Amino acid sequence: MDMVYAQRCINCHGSGGRGDGALAAALPVRPPDFRDTVQRKSNSQIRRVIAEGSSIMPAFGPVLQPSEINDMLQMVRFLSREGRDLAWWEKFDTLVVAHCSVPWETVLGYDEPSSDSKP
């Protein structure tokens, strides 16, 4: 349950579910603070948001098992009540770092395409 949250959620929602993840400040919409929103939502509403996404939040339904979506739900409920320090997540460090970090290959020396394949 912890790993799924560390992999898929913490970057935006933050270590304690406060909407203050590493990417939150760069997002056009600030993620919600779970303490303010989760208690008002039913489990099925939360599951639907996780599975189908909302606005710029990804839809995780296509990539996660129902049991993993339940794990996310449990973590969201837990964080809305108790929060969690950033230090607690250090053990997931290798999973929490940015996933989109492969350097651009400058493709210098690329062969000119033949006249057939030119756009």
Partner 1 sequence: MGHRQTRALAVFLALTFATLPRGAVAHEPQPLPTERREARIPINNFTATDQTGRRFEFKSLRGRVVVVAFAYTSCPDVCPLITAAARQVQTGLSSAEHPRVQLLTVTTDPEIDSPRILAAYAARYKADLDNWLFLTGSEAELGKVWKNFGVGVKHKARGLVDHTPLTAIVDKNGYMRVAYVGASPEPKRVLGDVRRLLSER
Instruction: Please report, as ranges, the residues that interact with partner 1 according to CB under 8 A.
Output: 7-9, 11-12, 14-16, 18-28, 30, 32-33, 35-36, 52-60, 62-64, 86, 93, 96-107, 110, 112-113, 117-119
- For residue 83, give the 3-state DSSP assignment: coil
Distance of closest approach, residue 73 Cβ to partner 1, in angstroms: 16
Distance of closest approach, residue 117 Cβ to partner 1, in angstroms: 5
Distance of closest approach, residue 77 Cβ to partner 1, in angstroms: 18
- Cα four-point dihedral sign 79, 85, 90, 96: positive
Measured from the CB atom, is 44 or 104 closer to partner 1? 104
Structure tokens belonging to residue 110: 């690329």
Structure tokens belonging to residue 64: 């996660």
Measured from the CB atom, is 59 or 66 closer to partner 1? 59
7's CB contacts (< 8 A; 6+ apart) are 92, 95, 96
Distance of closest approach, residue 3 Cβ to partner 1, in angstroms: 10
The torsion angles phi and psi of 43, rounded to 5 degrees, stand at: -60, -40
